[in-house]
Structure 1
Amino acid sequence: MRLFSKVLIANRGEIAIRIAKTLHHLGIRSVAIYSDADQDAAHVRFADEARRLGATSAASYLDPQAVVDAAVDTGAEAIHPGYGFLSENVELARACQRAGVTFIGPAEHALDVMGDKIRSKNHVAHAGVPIVDGVSEAGLTDEQLIEATRHMTFPMLIKPSAGGGGKGMHIVETHEQLPGQLATARRVAKAAFGDDTLLIEQLVRSPRHIEVQILADTHGNVIHLGERECSLQRRHQKIIEEAPSVLLTPETRERIGQAAIDTAKSVEYVGAGTVEFLVSDAEPDKFHFMEMNTRLQVEHPVTEEITGIDLVEAQLRIAAGAPLAWKQSQVKFSGHSIEARVYAETPAAGFMPSTGTVRHLAEPTGTGVRVDSGLRTGAVIGTEFDPMLAKVIATGADRSQALARLNQALDEMVVLGVNTNLEYLQHLLRDPDVVAGTIDTTLVEARLPEMTFDAPDPRQAHMAALFIHQQQHAPSAAWAHDGFRLNASSPITYRVDYAAEDPVRIDVTLDLQSELVPHHRPNEYIYRDANGVEVVTMVAEPPHTSGTRVWLASRDFTGAVTVLDHKAQVVDALVNMDALQQGIDPQVRAPLPGTVTAVHLPDGTAVSAGDPVVTIEAMKMEHQLKAPLDGTVSIHVTDGQQVRLGENILTVTAAQPAAGEA
């Protein structure tokens, strides 16, 4: 059967590249779309052609008509929505139909029914699929919801009917908490989804989150491709997923697979979809329908790895009208596959999103390792989009081998220029309960209080200081062969700072016993001291009067430190002296990662305490940063610049008292 000649991908990042790879494999041309923030993104470079839709997400990735118009203008015959953005938006499907463009997804009826949690829950209940007890009726006021739950036992879970991703979900332990939690959930649901309709379900304690992948064609054939275990979550967001689940018996696996098929058939589903269930850890033979995702899932690679089926290719063939290539009895499962999501965030700072420029990137390879990534060196990571950067997938003959390969792959992955959760993922994978497979959706939150993260030690501080010293002193060509040597009579000292919940400050004196020489790969160096030899990766950001930020990846630590030479230490001492005298910190730092939207005053302006100086937009809110005291302001950022959490934005040098004043 003839497939499409050109397909527009209505998404970005790693999923856009992953879809484009299958298109290229099939000889189909790919069209990328982008907003201004993504004009030089990896997915734009990877596609055969690209089309700018607008300045913002709202004018590009989230505008159904703009997406369809781009498909028509470029001659694309079909649109693949990926996941997120418009992937489950019925308006995109309708716009495609009006324009004669194929939507690679289900029909309007399935999108309508499954896109609303209340409607979908009531629908599948009539189809005989087991559901969680609760109140799921549209249009109920808070008072009516409270009254309707009088018969239920606590705890209960409030969920937005139109939403997903954990937004607006609240656990309620008592009737007294219910009014306040309902009000909060409505506000969040309205802001996130434009719809504040809520439902309430009985909360299943220590549940397992199990989802089943299905494929359905236009000829009435529906099959399932097994289940995925998605119980490792933080704030209802999945972190690590695997296939198959170690919880299910063959009999339960067959029943839950059939329930997923029945769910799909009940809405005449077409395409790839996922039916999500809650399974009691205490009673693993019982499961309850949670929702259906009418699209490709983030974690789809683990299913592809154990079945050998390319789900994107299957979507394309189904959308072109081809019947399924497999009957249920022909679907074979082999081995075990685990996926870890790599996010731009700082776990040690409460998982705050991290921003910056990717200055070095090394992605793992090897037997059984797959990386779906939207990264490239030079990519700017901002706050406009979801912070997921990449997915690392490892597959083995069994779960133990898959875990070992994933641990090794995460150890090999290096991203410098932005903080990531790589260390955090490794902590989770080495947890005894995760290794044993005794997991549930509460495990991650339970482990957080006891989890600690690495900070730089004196050896790593010495590496960074030596790195900056050699950069500043422009070593000769002979140095590259002979190693670095200092004049023993003139010791040189640096200070290395590490910003964390408990800040680290290490004084470093460079010594004769250490050397740092380039290795064979970019940004790699061989560091040698009295304790041995280590290959490290280091890159520096442009220097500043307050020091030079160095990104370092060593055996025991990956992160950013600030190296202060003598001049920077003097400046810092003067600043701190002013702070001690005034009792006020003269440095104003970014309260969140974000974007500078306004610089209100020129550098060097005389200011009074409370004067607005810089405005930052973060988390869709503007934060005005003001002068903390009277004096002269030094501004360290420019309009439009991306800033990190805690980055120094401005410093005020205190006004000196006039002669004769006390």
Structure 2
Amino acid sequence: MFGTVLVANRGEIAVRVIRTLRSMGIRSVAVHSEADAGALHTRLADVAVPIGPAPAVDSYLSIDRVLDAAARTGAQAIHPGYGFLSENVEFARACERAGIVFIGPPVAAIEAMGDKIRAKQTVAAAGVPVVPGRAEPGMDDGAVAAAAVEAGFPVLLKPSAGGGGKGMRVVRSEAELSDAIAAARREARGSFADDTLLVERYIGSARHIEVQVLGDAHGTVVHLGERECSLQRRHQKVVEEAPSPLLDDAQRAAMGAAAVEAARAVGYTGAGTVEFIVDADRPADFFFLEMNTRLQVEHPVTEMVTGLDLVELQVRVAAGERLPLTQDDVVLTGHAVEARLYAEDPARGFLPQTGTVLGLREPAGAGVRLDTSLAVGSVVGPDYDPMLAKVVAHGPDRETARARLVGALGHTAVLGVPTNTAFLRALLADPDVVAGRLDTGLIERRGEALTAAGPVPPAVYAAAALALQLEAEPAGPVVDRWDVPDGWRLGEPAWTVRRLQAAGGDPVTVRVRGRSSAAELCVGDGRPMAAAAHRDAAELRVTLDGVTTPYTVVHAGGDVWLAADGRATVLREHERLHSAVEGAGGDGVVAAPMPGTVTVVQAAVGDRVEAGTPLLVVEAMKMEHVLTAPLAGTVTELGVTAGHQVRLDERVAVVTPPATDEGE
């Protein structure tokens, strides 16, 4: 067994791998960029090595720097996690040349399955069904367009390299092809340094089901059941579960056998995932999508229903050991559901968000697991994927697991960085999700029903005012009444008035009188309420008219962050908030919806444009965002060029409407 293993990754997956290494008695080495200095994975590892500046290409994607860190620390093996170098065949080759074990499949398997074109050809030859379309190396734009027309719209353009939905485009008509091909190639080139595309028939009412496989170097290949990953947004998984509520035992066995054959076809060893797309109306019809030659983000749900540690099995197989189980030993117990916590704003089109974690509340309880790298003080920047953590729940049946996950998310709070927690709870409460009627288009169809933030409840304004009141009060007993900031004056009690405002909303006046432990309070023009607030560590327990609610509260820089029941809110004191970027479009101003890098400028000053015309593309957290003209007119200002770094809400362009003849 290895004495030292380097973890070539960051965030929650690095933390998760390091914890298993520690349980196995293996010395762990963390690597980190300048942006991650002091991150949780660097504190948990036995050794931490800096490997470069924040951009991943100069740090986590630098093969030379990772291997240098391994050599300096005496690492005998490298665990790549997922993303970054995990499926990079050149990295696997470089490890081999350096005499370091790559904890993953052989180079030949990565090559065969890392190229989606070759992968489809390989598994088809082994008798595994594949999605109709064309997967030929070297197709130029004309060939891709011809293949799309031949397959029939809608079609899916997919990069041959990489995964995670990067570069994928659904094309519904021939008129959309040119722009879609260009965008797919550009994003694929930026994410994987390879812009080769393949074309597949797009299956609209599709369910995404994948099978976990394990192989060793002694000829054993088994599967550990399937995971359903149909709840997706922009081809990125959001909620995953095991087992799938769609399959019966016969379908499960057939899909598992096909996955094992796909793995055998390339001599696979270690942990991998074979992904299938399934017709929701005909579960017996399944098609191979791709094979991920690495650990998956959603591997915890498989661990929870099998009782196996997949990272430990990866390490043991890489060390040459035999798998300690056969197919007959694999038993699925109960059900598990996982939700991915992202730094994003669902109400603003799921735009990535950045910030510093000011406060944190983590879920716990029976059957609940949290995979996270967050800590108070963690900085969420624009350089990496916006996924922050995974909340997982297990139960004896699907409904128990789902309900436990909803409850766990209600006790999850990240203050200082907007997250999708409330959206996840709404999604898990959707009637079709509760019933197990899933497909990859469900989130898109539900739209605002899942993403609308809604008005801030009066109770939240009340809690913020009480938190501020409590903060301003002297600790201990009152000595001098004039020292108490409650508006008291001779003759009668008086009100302390606070003006609070949520983003995009109007200021709300909250009046409080008396000490926070026994106060009277009014929100806006509402009736007076009996109120009280008591702090217990980071939790503030607020009682309004006899009803007590626990809040996680942080006051920083004039903002009050509050979270309760899975919903986080930020209120600003006294001043009016900056108008939302969506509201800025009415006067022709185009603002950056998130911090990022301008990758393409498609317009020039003087251009005549229509509302919705693409002006430029901003890339942040591995995703492209097209900024369009808010109205018809002329581009009169364009203050950025390709490569320009933009800030949140930075003004990047102005479109001026045509002059109106006053005589008309």
Provide the C-alpha distance between the structure 2 equivalents of 1:381 and 1:462, rounded to a whole number of angstroms.
29
- Shift of residue 558 of structure 1? 1.9
Correspondent of 2:501 among 497, 503, 507: 497
Counterpart residue number, 1:549 = 559
C-alpha contact 1:468 1:563 (8 A) present in aligned 2:
no
Corresponding residue for 2:549? 534
Counterpart check, 1:421 vs 2:425: no
Which shows bigger deviation, 121-130 or 266-275?
121-130
- The 2-side partners of 1:254 and 1:143 are apart by 41
- What's 1:520 paired with? 536
- Alignment match, 1:14: 12
* Equivalent AA in structure 1 for residue 21 of structure 2: L
Q: CA deviation at 1:436?
A: 0.3
Q: Once the 2 structures are TM-superposed, how far is the Cα of residue 146 of structure 1 from its aligned partner?
A: 3.0
CA distance in 2 between partners of 1:148 and 1:644 (Å)? 40
- How does 1:313-462 map onto structure 2 within 5 Å? 313-451=312-450, 452-462=452-462
- Read off the aligned partner of 1:535 and give its amino acid letter: P
Aligned to 1:453, what secondary structure does the other structure show? coil
1:461 aligned counterpart, secondary structure: helix
User: What one-letter code is carried by the residue in structure 2 that aligns with 1:560?
Assistant: V
Aligned residues: 585
Shift of 1:364: 1.0
Q: Distance in 2 between matches of 1:192 and 1:349?
A: 24
SS of structure 2 residue aligned to 1:302? helix
Instruction: Write out aligned runs for 1:112-261 (5 A).
Output: 112-261=111-260
How far did residue 410 of structure 1 move? 0.5
Q: Tell me the amino acid that sits aligned with residue 559 of structure 1.
A: T
2:559 is paired with a residue whose SS is: strand
Contact 2:233–2:444 (CA under 8 A) maintained in structure 1: yes
For residues 434 and 207 of structure 1, the distance between their equivalents in structure 2, rounded to whole angstroms, comes to 15
Q: Deviations over 1:602-635 (max 9, x none)?
A: xxxxxxxxxxxxxx9966999xxxxxxxxxxxxx
| 3-state SS, counterpart of residue 210 of structure 2 | strand
For 2:3 and 2:277, the matched residues in 1 are separated by 41
Q: How far 1:8 sits from its partner (Å)?
A: 0.4
Q: Contact 1:594/1:619 (CA < 8 Å) preserved in 2? A: no
CA contact (8 A) 1:219 1:323 kept: yes
Look up the match of 1:467. Answer: 467
Residues 596 and 268 of structure 1, relative CA distance in 2, 3 Å threshold: closer
The CA distance in 2 between the partners of 1:283 and 1:139, in whole Å, is 34
The residue aligned with 1:591 is 592
Q: What is the CA-CA distance between 1:141 and the residue it aligns to?
A: 1.7
Deviation per residue, 1:372-424 (Å, 9 max, x gap): 11111111111111111110110000001101111111111121111111100
- Partner residue, 1:508: 510
Q: Give the distance between the partners of 1:145 and 1:344, measured in 2 at CA.
A: 35
1:396/1:643 CA distance change after superposition, 3 Å: farther
Does structure 2 conserve the Cα–Cα contact (< 8 Å) formed by 1:454 and 1:556? no
Deviations 1:86-111 (A, max 9, x none): 00001111111111111000111111
Query: What SS class does the counterpart of residue 536 from structure 2 fall into?
Result: coil
Q: Distance in 2 between matches of 1:150 and 1:462?
A: 59
The aligned residue for residue 286 of structure 1 is: 285
Name whichever of 371-380 and 455-464 sits farther off: 455-464
Structure 1 pair 617/87, CA: closer, same or farther in 2 (3 Å)?
closer
CA distance in 1, matches of 2:534, 2:596: 35
Question: 2:30 is matched with which residue: 19, 32, 41?
Answer: 32
SS of 1:510's equivalent? strand
Q: How does 1:40-79 map to 2 (within 5 A)?
A: 40-56=38-54, 57-79=56-78
Check whether the contact 2:233–2:443 (CA below 8 A) recurs between aligned residues: yes
Question: How far is 1:203 from its partner?
Answer: 1.2
Whole-angstrom distance in 1 between the partners of 2:328 and 2:180: 47
Cα deviations by residue, 1:514-562 (Å, 9 ceiling, x for unpaired): 455443222x2232344643332211113xxxxx111012358422110
TM-score, length of structure 1 as denominator length: 0.83
Aligned partners of 1:300, 1:236: CA distance in 2, in Å? 18
1:435: Cα distance to partner? 0.3
Partner secondary structure for residue 301 of structure 1: helix
What is the DSSP-based 3-state SS (H/G/I as helix, E as strand, rest coil) of the residue aligned with 1:424?
A: helix
Aligned to 1:561: 571
- Partners in 1 of 2:343 and 2:200 — Cα distance? 32
Q: Deviation digits for residues 2-53 of structure 1, max 9, x if unmatched?
A: x111100000111111111111111111110000000010111111110001
SS at match of 2:370: strand
What SS does structure 1 have at the residue aligned with 2:283? coil
The one-letter amino acid of 1:498's match is A
How many Å separate the matches in 2 of 1:478 and 1:142?
76
CA contact (8 A) 2:11 2:372 kept: yes
Q: What root-mean-square deviation, in Å, do the aligned CA atoms of Structure 1 and Structure 2 show?
A: 2.9
Q: How does 1:474-485 map to 2 (within 5 A)?
A: 474-478=473-477, 485=486
The aligned residue for residue 633 of structure 2 is none
Question: In the alignment, is the contact (CA less than 8 A) between 1:9 and 1:30 conserved in 2?
Answer: yes
Stretches of structure 1 that go unaligned for 5 or more consecutive residues are 543-547, 577-583, 598-615, 623-641, 649-662
Which 5+ residue runs of structure 2 have no aligned equivalent? 515-519, 522-530, 580-585, 599-617, 626-644, 652-664
| TM-score of the aligned structures, taking structure 2 as reference length | 0.83
Q: Summarize deviations over 1:280-319 as a string: whole Å, max 9, x none.
A: 0011001100000000000000001111111001001100
- SS of 1:157's partner is strand
Q: Which amino acid aligns with 2:500?
A: V
CA contact (8 A) 2:214 2:221 kept: yes
Aligned to 1:601: none
Alpha carbons 1:118, 1:161 under 8 Å: kept: yes
CA spacing shift, 1:479–1:237, aligned 2, 3 Å: farther
Q: Do the aligned residues in 2 keep the contact of 1:465 with 1:563 (CA within 8 Å)?
A: no
Q: Report the Cα offset of residue 68 of structure 1.
A: 1.3
CA contact (8 A) 1:277 1:289 kept: yes
CA distance in 2, matches of 1:77, 1:174: 52
Is the CA contact 2:343–2:352 (under 8 Å) kept in the aligned structure 1? Answer: yes
Q: Structure 1 residues 179 and 371 mapped into 2: Cα distance closer, same or farther (>3 Å)?
A: same
Does the 8 Å contact 1:157/1:200 carry over to 2? yes
1:556–1:136 distance in 2 versus 1, CA, 3 Å:
closer
